[in-house]
């Protein structure tokens, strides 16, 4: 269950997905913007996508590495929580608590609370619970009992299949190209354009995520939420708690939005 990868120790942001490509689809633009701004962003895939209809775990691993590079991520980590049967018990909590205490991110981006794919909702529960328990000194984990407690300051959930009323929308227009390059790395999973410029829809087996309609819908959704904030492309996020504004002057920086 130990997280593994080529991670350096400290990360500012940890973006977590149930399957390779979840983070890129849900919040790839935000990840790219944070990396461009100089923050150290790690990607954590809770499974290797071994139960996917298309693509082997090895193939998806190669794609995930290339996608992380396209977004400017500093590290790619994995936990083997079980694709298609994602577990969120004590062992999985311990493993994720270890990652959080080792890398100490202030911001966690993670799966949506409830979704078409049951793994996504289970992954949300795992991430939310581990973020809390990681800050409890009394919760000691067997593999690394000496790691100091650490609770991320914020956990925002990105949108996947099912829509929700967002708590905030990030203008990702400046990172839209980087997000598309990351999605283009997932040749086994995601529609890659018509044959002149890409592979088109793979013949078999058909998947929803691999369809042209899905990729167009992802762009349409980003355009919809962009429109809501006066931008071309937006990524929506949900927060269980209200988003705090510590300095009222920040409100001026939140424009556009509101009435325009
Ligand atoms: Zn997924």
Distance 119 CA to ligand 1 centre (A): 7
**Angle separating helix axes 176-184 and 22-36, nearest 10 degrees:** 140
Q: What is the pLDDT of residue 7?
A: 45
Distance 186 CA to ligand 1 centre (A): 13
Q: What is the pLDDT of residue 132?
A: 98
List, edge to edge, every strand of the sheet that includes 154-158. Answer: 4-5, 75-78, 41-45, 13-17, 107-110, 154-158, 234-238, 168-171
Quick one: 189 exposed, middle or buried, by C-beta within 10 A (0-12, 13-18, 19+)?
Answer: buried
Between 197 and 29, where is the model more confident?
29
Tokens of 181: 């390059």
Distance 124 CA to ligand 1 centre (A): 11
Tokens of 154: 């914020």
Query: Count of alpha carbons within 13 Å of 19, Cβ hemisphere only?
Result: 26
Distance 222 CA to ligand 1 centre (A): 18
Mean pLDDT of 221-234: 95
Quick one: 166 exposed, middle or buried, by C-beta within 10 A (0-12, 13-18, 19+)?
Answer: buried
144-200 pLDDT per residue, tens: 999 999 999 999 999 999 999 999 999 999 999 999 999 999 988 888 877 665 555
- Report DSSP letters for 11-51, one per residue: -SEEEEESSTTHHHHHHHHHHHHHHHTT--EEEEESS--TT
Q: Which chain residues have CB less than 5 Å from ligand 1, an ion?
A: 18-19, 22
């Amino acid at each position: 269950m130990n997280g593994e990868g080529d991670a350096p120790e400290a990360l500012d942001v940890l973006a977590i997905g149930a399957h390779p490509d979840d983070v890129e689809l849900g919040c790839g633009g935000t990840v790219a913007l944070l990396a461009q701004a100089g923050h150290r962003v790690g990607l954590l895939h809770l499974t290797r996508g071994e139960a996917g209809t298309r693509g082997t775990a090895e193939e998806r691993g190669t794609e995930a590495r290339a996608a992380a590079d396209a977004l400017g991520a500093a590290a790619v980590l994995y936990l083997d929580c079980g694709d298609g049967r994602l577990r969120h018990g004590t062992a999985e909590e311990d493993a994720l608590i270890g990652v959080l205490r080792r890398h100490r991110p202030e911001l966690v981006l993670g799966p949506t609370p409830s979704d078409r794919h049951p793994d996504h909702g289970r992954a949300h529960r795992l991430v939310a619970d581990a973020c809390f328990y990681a800050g409890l000194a009394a919760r000691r984990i067997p593999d690394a009992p000496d790691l100091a407690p650490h609770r991320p300051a914020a956990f925002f959930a990105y949108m996947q299949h099912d829509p929700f009323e967002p708590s905030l929308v990030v203008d990702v227009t400046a990172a839209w190209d980087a997000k598309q390059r990351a999605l283009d790395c997932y040749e086994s999973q995601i529609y890659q354009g018509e044959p002149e410029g890409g592979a088109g829809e793979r013949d078999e087996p058909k998947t929803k995520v691999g369809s042209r309609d899905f990729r167009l819908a992802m762009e349409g959704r980003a355009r919809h939420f962009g429109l809501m904030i006066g931008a071309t492309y937006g990524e929506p996020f949900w927060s269980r708690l209200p988003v705090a504004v510590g300095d009222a002057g920040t409100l001026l920086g939140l424009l556009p939005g509101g009435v325009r």
